[in-house]
Amino acid sequence: MTVLVDDIRPAPVRTSIAAAVDAVRAYAPGFTLSALTVEPGRISVVVEVTASGDRLPRHAGSVDIINAAAVLLAEQSVAVSRRREPRP
């Protein structure tokens, strides 16, 4: 993905992207940052997703990350629902 921007500070951009990669990797271990270019006016990010290989072939990383994200959202939804339920 390439994003065109007017004003850019490379260090904070790199830090934010590294944090986002770590956050995604927490639920999709096959997610890796393949390339990151931060230049005046342009940020380019290339990621790769490899499936874990236990239920899906390793080349099906996009399906694996979609499933992992769905599980994460379901877990978060349950946690929110439990906080809202009145306690007896």
Q: What's the pLDDT tens digit per position in 16-75?
A: 999 999 998 988 888 899 999 999 999 999 999 888 777 777 787 788 788 888 888 999
Beta bridge partners of 47: 33
Helix (H, G, I), strand (E, B) or coil at 85: coil
pLDDT at 88 over 80: no
Q: What's the pLDDT tens digit per position in 58-74?
A: 787 788 788 888 888 99
CA distances to 5, 23, 41, 80 from 17, rounded to whole Å, are 15, 10, 17, 27
Q: What distance in Å separates the CA atoms of residue 86 and residue 47, rounded to the nearest whole number?
A: 43
The tokens describing 18, both together, are 């590294």
pTM here is 0.71
